[in-house]
Structure 1
Amino acid sequence: MTNIKRTDKNILLKGLKLMGGALACMFSGPSLIYISQTKIKPPIDMVILIIAIVLCCLALYLAYKGINTILDSMFKKSSN
């Protein structure tokens, strides 16, 4: 039997879910940074800014993990 490399659909779906989470964070993080700079109220501004920075960092992490997972589903050998 020939050893044909195929995409693992379950791992690909996991990677796409991670990329979807990254996309949501990529939009909400900068939006919250903009909102925090519009001077709502001083104590709330810092809380919103901290949450926004965490979301931006989370977007970078999720995008990295998502791309790695998608590439693993396509190019890694399966252990079957």
Structure 2
Amino acid sequence: MKHTDKDMLFKGLKYLAGALPLSFIGPVVLFSSFKNQENVWFIPVMIFALLAMAAAVFLMFKGIRTVMKALFD
């Protein structure tokens, strides 16, 4: 009988824990950048926000994939 790989499960949960703050920081910073479009830092802040949101999606995908692999492989 197969058992859950606990090390891989915790690794997947770490990915999901890393994605959680990024999923809040990204949209907040993006909204803030659009409110200050006349500022010199508009483009760099917007790029940072988009990268944070992309990283959140990537880490969520990787975390869920790792957790599923730990449970069912």
Deviations 1:9-64 (A, max 9, x none): 10000000000111111000001001101217522111110000001111111001
Query: Within the alignment, does 1:72 sit opposite 2:60 as a pair?
Result: no
Query: Within the alignment, does 1:56 sit opposite 2:20 as a pair?
Result: no
- Which residue, out of 30, 47, 64, partners 2:27? 30
| Structure 1 residue ranges without an equivalent (≥5) | none
Structure 2 residue matching 1:37: 3-state secondary structure: helix
Structure 1 residue matching 2:2: 3-state secondary structure: coil
| Structure 2 residue ranges without an equivalent (≥5) | none
**The structure with more radius of gyration:** 1
Structure 2 Cα separation of the partners of residues 34 and 66 of structure 1: 26
TM-score by length of 1: 0.85
Q: How many residues align?
A: 73
**How many angstroms does 1:5 deviate by?**
1.3
